Amino acid sequence: MLKKNKSIYILPNFFTSLNALCGFYSIISSMRGNYVAAATSILVAMLFDIMDGRVARMTHSESKFGMEYDSLSDLISFGLAPAMLIYSWILPQSGRVGWLSAFVFAICGALRLARFNVAENHDPKFFTGLPIPAGAFIISTWYLFCNHMGYQGKIIEIISLLFLYILAFLMVSNVKYPCFKKADKNHKIHFNLLVSLILMLVLIVLEPQISLFSVALVYFFSGLVIFVKRMRKNKSIVHID
C-alpha cells in the first residue's frame, strides 16, 4: 500500500520535472540561436504542465509540495524561457531596454505565480490575471508566426517590446481569464463546440504557426472582453441604484 501511494505522488511530479526540463532546454536553445526549438520546447512544456495537474487530480495526489514544485517549474518554462527567447531573438539591439523588458515579463510572471499560490479562494471558472503559461504561449507562438511569415526588422522589435509590457501588466492585473482546469472526463460539451474543436485541430495541423498564434490572440483578447463586459454590468447596476 505504501509503494502504491508513493507511485501515485511520483507520477504528477515526474510530469512537472519534464515541464522544467523543456523549459531549461528552451533556454539552452535560445542561447544557441535555435529559436524554433526554443519556442517548440515551451509549447511541449505546456502539455506536461497540463498533464501533471490532471494526473494529480485524477489520482487524488494533490499536495503542497506538488503545487510549489509546479510553480518553480512554471517559472523556468513560462517565465525565464520565453523571456530568454524573445530577448535573444529580436531585442539585443534594444540594449538595456531590451533585457529590462524581458526581465519585467519574467518577474511579473513570478509575482503572478506567488499571488496564485497564496490566494485563499480561487474562482473555478476564471483566473485573476493572465496565467503565466498563456503569456509564454503568446510569446512562443508570436516568434513562430513571425519566423513562418518572414517578418523581422524594427517594427517587429517594437511590437515585441509592447507585447512584453502588456503581457506583464495583464499577469499582475485583476483582469479575469477563462479557466479550463475543472473540466474533466465527465464534463459534457455542446455538439457544436466539439465540431469547432475538431475544425480548429485541422487548422492547427495545416498551418500550425498561424493557427496557434491565432488561438493565442483569441485567449489574449478574451480577458479584455470579459473585463469590458464586467465594467458595463457594474455601471448598469450603479445607474439602477
Instruction: Of 132-146, 148-162, 198-212, give the lowest mean pLDDT range.
Output: 198-212
Per-residue HEC secondary structure of 84-127 comes to: HHHHHHHCHHHCHHHHHHHHHHHHHHHHHHHHHHHCCCCCCCEE
Residue 187 has pLDDT above 60, yes or no: no
Between 121 and 198, the more confident residue is 198
**pLDDT at position 35:** 97
The predicted model scores a pTM of 0.87
pLDDT of residue 75: 97
Domain total of the chain:
1
Q: Is pLDDT of 240 > 60?
A: no
Residues 59-95: tens digit of each pLDDT: 777 888 888 999 999 999 999 999 999 999 999 989 9
Residue 97 has pLDDT above 50, yes or no: yes
Burial of 162 (0-12, 13-18, 19+ CB in 10 A): exposed
Write the DSSP string, 33-100.
T-HHHHHHHHHHHHHHHHHHHHHHHHTT---HHHHHHHHHHHIIIIIIHHHHHHHHHH-GGGTHHHHH
Cell 474543436 appears where? 197
Mean pLDDT is lowest, of 113-122, 148-157, 167-176, for 113-122
Average pLDDT of the chain, as a whole number: 87
CA separation for the pair 111, 117 (Å, rounded)? 10
Give, in order, the Cα–Cα distances in Å from 240 to each of 65, 228, 234: 48, 19, 10
Range of the domain at 112: 2-240
For residues 121-142, one letter each, b for 16 or more C-beta atoms within 10 angstroms of the residue's C-beta and e for the rest, the string is eeeeeebbbbbbbbbbbbbbbb
CATH of the domain at 75: 1.20.120.1760
Q: One-letter amino acid identity for 134?
A: A
What is the DSSP secondary structure assignment for residue 207, as one 8-state letter?
A: S
Tens of pLDDT, residue by residue over 43-52, are 999 999 999 8
Q: What pLDDT, in 10s, does the model give residues 27-46?
A: 999 999 999 999 999 999 99
Give the DSSP H/E element, type plus range, for residue 171.
Answer: helix 154-171
